[in-house]
Amino acid sequence: MQKCILGGVALLAAGATTVHAQEAPVDLPPLVLGTALRADRDIQDTPVAASVVEGEELEKRQADTVEELIGDVPGVSIEGGPRGVAQEINIRGFQDEQVVLRFDGGRLNFNREHSGRFFFDPDIVQRVEVVRGGGSTLFGSGAIGGVVAVETKDVEDLLLPGQTTGARLRLGYSDNGQIWSPSATLYGDFGNIDALAFIGGRNFGTSLQDGNGDDILRSEVDIVNGLLKLGFEPTSDQRFELNLSYYEDEGLIPPNANTTANLDPNTGNDSERSAEIFTYRLSWDWNPENSDLIDLSVLLYGNTLDIQDDRVRDGRPDFTEYDTIGLEVTNRSRFDIGVPVELVYGIDAFRDEQSGTRSGADRTQFPDATATTIGAFAEATFGVTDRLDLIAGLRFDSYDRDVDDPNLADVDDDFFSPRIGFSFRPNDDWQVFGNVARAFRAPTLTELYNDGVHFPLFERVIGPPGTPPTEFTNNFIPTPDLEPEESTQIELGARFERANMFRPGDALRFSANAYYADVKNFIDSQVVGADAVSIPLAPTIVGVSFQRNIDAELYGFEAELDYDAGNWFGGLALTLPEGKAKNGEELGSIPQPRLTATVGFRPAPEWTLGARATFAGDQNDVPADASGNTRPGESYTVVDLFGSWSPQQGPLSNAVFRAGIDNVFDEQYTIFPNELPQSGRSIKLSASFQF
């Protein structure tokens, strides 16, 4: 795959000389990281591996799920299969809460076995920032694998030239699942007050189908998402913003939404799911004019999550509640101590509270518990020369985990996370960067305290005919003695960007990085036969699931290339992840190697046509399951087509019509380590209108 990306660079360079020149040179606008670094910074001055996907690049995907939205970003793999409610993030082999997920600035910490945590409609997303690797200096526990920051559309993203108020209507359709996706957005800028209101959804008409044409049973999960933003700027240097989001989904799904549904009315455990998630963010930004010492951001945020699962065959109700409240105070200062210094520092604190019931009684699979984390951080960038920056950071976190069960121990600890790095600009086009960071992650409530049935294995009648069948299960075992994960991560990389590279008007961006993470107490999930553990178990428990600490190392290479010549464009994204336990065992979280190639053509200003091909390699280094078998990840090739028409004149001048075909050749493929295959061929159409 390394040869593929090098060949792609040569191909793009050669192609650039064969297409007619544009009229005039252009300036390459900076690619800025903001939320994911707590400060706006040109990515060319940032000493971390990062990607930004925004605007038109997101729109042309016509995504119905997060996997379709950002699943091709280098280093990123979306797990959980084709059902959007099961999808989770994986960066470099770090999964779930090993990655911090931020939605409009606030953390989304929810984690429940086999449940996702993406609670937003892709249509309202304006920008996704992905920082890969240990970022605990700024974000504390959970950032051991990286940070994914999702930002929704603002008023300024939607207003047309000369507008102060406007509206956007969109209607999308995918024939695979007969998915209708309507949305409406109203927005306005009234001087020192601005407002935005959004409502959208995804409505299924039938089950998704895989590449073999088979139904992915009970994949019809309808969603509705609403968003309200209110901004107030009492002075030119202050802004208050209130952000309220509501999300709900409904549908029949298996208890593990990444597995095949069981429609048997006597043995099936599928449930009627109903989820409601409410998020709120209240922020204050203050940046006084002529002040280098104050650039203050204060954020109060919270999430409330309720999930009701009613088992179809007997109506047994499960209720899950997970609430988060958090506060972040961040300031940015600039001063001179013989060399210029930019300092980002602050405090943050958040508290997670979970509870679960089954038929009104406490549910051991999701016990009542709370988790509190308080941290302080500072990171300084020293401008040693005009070309060389040195970065030093330190963070302190203190956390505790309290469970409402006298048989389970509470957990508390604290941790320092230092980081040093450099960014060197040999000229205006190139950057070379590197960093060494210590990162940690405290065990989650689910990892520490899960108990009870994980999933049923089979049922068997024991006794005379007519006796009700006995259910044999795989059960969780609580592991309150889990140690926090600690890692030392080393990263080296380079970036290049230049406008007017081969001819006036073109632009080239390229980045590549290598990484190594030495992880002590890596938290690894195990599913084994009951005879593999030395604790008493009931006769009906024939398998167990538990967490354990092991030492591991994860390493790899990532690269990204984008070239735009105006009337045509192309790109490559490469991911080569590796990892293993130090005792020689395989890890089950290392994604497949992957190369994504994109090429497009703009025959006229209003037309865009393109294709994207994803090549994934085999993943054969996998652990055995409870039966001693291995389930490797098989290679696949998937081709997608996309196109758009944006009339420049006439009554449709503010409309965009899109068409695409995902998985053109109906490839039957599974993204490792998912159990279910992805969707087969999907024809997608959408139209959006702005007024």
| Over residues 420-448, mean pLDDT | 89
What is d(CA 673, CA 634) in angstroms, rounded to the nearest whole number?
10
Number of CB atoms found within 10 A of residue 583's CB: 8
- φ/ψ of 347, rounded to 5, equals -135, 155
Tokens 């933003």 belong to: 229
**Looking at the predicted structure, is the pLDDT value of residue 477 above 50?**
yes
Angle (nearest 5°) at CA 528 between 525 and 531: 140
Residue 471 has pLDDT above 80, yes or no: no
pLDDT band, residue 102 (cuts 50/70/90): very high
In the chain, the amino acid numbered 557 is F
Q: Mean pLDDT for the chain?
A: 88
pLDDT of residue 441: 83
Query: How many structural domains compose the chain?
Result: 1
What pLDDT is recorded for position 183?
Answer: 98
Whether residue 246 is predicted with pLDDT greater than 50 in this model: the reply is yes
Give residue-wise pLDDT tens across range 637-684: 999 999 999 999 989 999 999 999 999 999 999 999 998 999 999 999
Please indicate whether residue 482 or residue 572 has the higher confidence score (pLDDT): 572
At residue 92, the pLDDT reads 95
The secondary structure of residue 123, as a DSSP letter, is G
- Assess contact for 443 and 410: CB atoms under 8 A: no
Does the pLDDT of residue 628 top 90, yes or no? no
Distances (CA, A) of 531 to 19, 449, 537, 627: 67, 21, 9, 12
Structure tokens at 165: 């108020």
pLDDT higher than 90, residue 42:
no
| pLDDT at 560 (0 to 100) | 97
pLDDT for the residue numbered 20: 41
Mean pLDDT, rounded, for 489-518: 95
Residue among 132, 113, 169, 154 nearest 36 (CA): 132
- Range list of β-strands (E), 470-606: 470-476, 485-499, 507-529, 541-564, 568-581, 594-601
Identity of the amino acid at 232: F
Residue range(s) defining the domain that contains residue 160: 2-690
Question: Taking residues 602-628, what's their average pLDDT?
Answer: 89
pLDDT level of residue 45 (50, 70, 90 thresholds) = confident
pLDDT value, residue 21: 40
| pLDDT at residue 3 is higher than 60 | no
> pLDDT band at 507, cuts 50/70/90?
very high
Band of pLDDT at residue 194, cut at 50, 70 and 90: very high
Name the strand (E) or helix (H) holding 106: strand 106-107
The DSSP bridge partners found for residue 543 are 474, 529
Closest CA to 75 of 35, 1, 133, 122: 133
pLDDT digits (tens, 9 = 90+) for 317-336: 999 999 999 999 999 999 99
Q: How far apart are CA 423 and CA 438, in angstroms?
A: 18
Confidence of residue 7 (pLDDT cuts 50, 70, 90): very low
pLDDT-above-90 percentage for the chain: 66
**Mean pLDDT calculated for residue range 78-90:** 93
Question: What values do phi and psi take at 389, rounded to 5?
Answer: -115, 140
Asked if pLDDT for residue 309 goes beyond 60, the answer is: yes
- Please indicate whether residue 575 or residue 135 has the higher confidence score (pLDDT): 575
631, pLDDT greater than 90: no
Which pLDDT band holds residue 135 (cuts at 50, 70, 90)?
low
**Which tokens sit at 176?**
């695979």
Choose the weakest-confidence range: 280-294, 469-483, 553-567: 469-483
| Residue 653 or residue 255, greater confidence | 653
472 pLDDT band (50/70/90 cuts)?
low
Tokens linked to 402: 């309290």
- Least confident piece of the model among 92-101, 177-186, 214-223, 477-486: 477-486
Distances from the Cα of 677 to the Cαs of 321, 337, 587, 633, 684, in angstroms?
A: 30, 58, 21, 11, 19
CATH number of the structural domain spanning residue 325: 2.40.170.20
Q: Cα(596)–Cα(493) distance, rounded to whole angstroms?
A: 20
Residue 190 has pLDDT above 90, yes or no: yes
Q: Span 192-208, mean pLDDT?
A: 97
For residues 475-489, average pLDDT:
83
| 6 confidence band (pLDDT: 50, 70, 90) | very low
The pLDDT of residue 590: 94
Residue 302: predicted pLDDT = 97
Contact 86, 14 (CB under 8 A): no
Is 626's pLDDT higher than 80?
Answer: no
